[in-house]
Amino acid sequence: MKKTIIACALAFCAAAALTVNAQQNADKGGNMQLTIQAYKAIGYPGLAGMPGFSEKLLADHIKLYQGYVNNVNALSEKLAALLADGKEKTPEYAELKRRFGWEFGGMRLHELYFGNLGGAGTPRIDSHVHKAIRESFGSYEAWQKDFKATGAMRGIGWAVLYKDKVSGRLFNAWVNEHDGGQLAGCVPLLVMDVFEHAYITDYRLERAKYIEAFMNAVEWEAADRRFHDCPLRPVDGGRAIL
């Protein structure tokens, strides 16, 4: 029996697919074919020459991001093969499954990060995201103070402005590495990488200067678009339908 599983259908996935042929579980018999859509790294030529970010810093950072994409594809293939071979109860499967969340987070957070760079750093006061920021934080300045403080926290990770689809509230959250502290059910609107690799080439250990450069290069149209792409969930009898 042949069975095809499409793991992802995002628009930026590669056209080519990874195919895994493996022996199906012994109790079912026969062969199983898994077809897994591979991710393809996004290019960011529009960021070249962005003020505050050297060519070398951006090139190295994008190359590092491409490694996450490669590892997501490799792990997808490996996990599918282990499952098809009936090895889903092994320690190897469990560790690779945990690793997948870290690699996928690294891939997607970088795409959100590069995707919200390349702008002038000033949101339109009449934009919906600016209005939502004022409603949740009192003022744009109060939000920015909190966002910068979140990004300046010791450790490696991300500062993320989230929108809660249930309440509409916005939060600044710290994401540890790529997979700790993400707010479930919330949508990232603005993402700032604060791993040392994001700034050490240009700013040494002066993270505050990098954060200033980031704020001056934010593409707020991207954040506003993400805000619109996640309408609030309907509430039925006091419970959100998620």
Residues that bind Fe ion (CB under 5 A): 193, 195, 198
Provide the strand spans (E) within the chain: 13-23, 31-39, 157-164, 170-176, 186-193, 235-236, 239-240
Residues sharing a CB contact under 8 Å with residue 176, sequence separation 6 or more, in sequence order: 155, 156, 157
* CB 150 to Fe ion: min, Å: 16
Question: Which CB sits closer to Fe ion, 199 or 227?
Answer: 199
User: What DSSP letter does each residue of 16-67 carry, written as one string?
Assistant: EEEEEEEEPPTTT-SEEEEEEEEE-PPP-GGGTT-TT--HHHHHHHHHHHHH
Question: Which CB sits closer to Fe ion, 64 or 96?
Answer: 64
Question: Which CB sits closer to Fe ion, 72 or 129?
Answer: 72
Question: Which CB sits closer to Fe ion, 60 or 221?
Answer: 60
Which residue in this structure is represented by tokens 């070249």?
48
* CB 221 to Fe ion: min, Å: 22
* CB 174 to Fe ion: min, Å: 15
Cβ atoms within 10 A of the Cβ of 137, count? 20
Which residue in this structure is represented by tokens 């190359």?
63
Question: Which CB sits closer to Fe ion, 198 or 217?
Answer: 198
* CB 65 to Fe ion: min, Å: 7
Residue 235: beta bridge partners? 240
Question: Which CB sits closer to Fe ion, 7 or 215?
Answer: 215
Minimal CB distance residue for Fe ion:
193
Structure tokens at 26: 């012994």
* CB 106 to Fe ion: min, Å: 8
* CB 202 to Fe ion: min, Å: 14
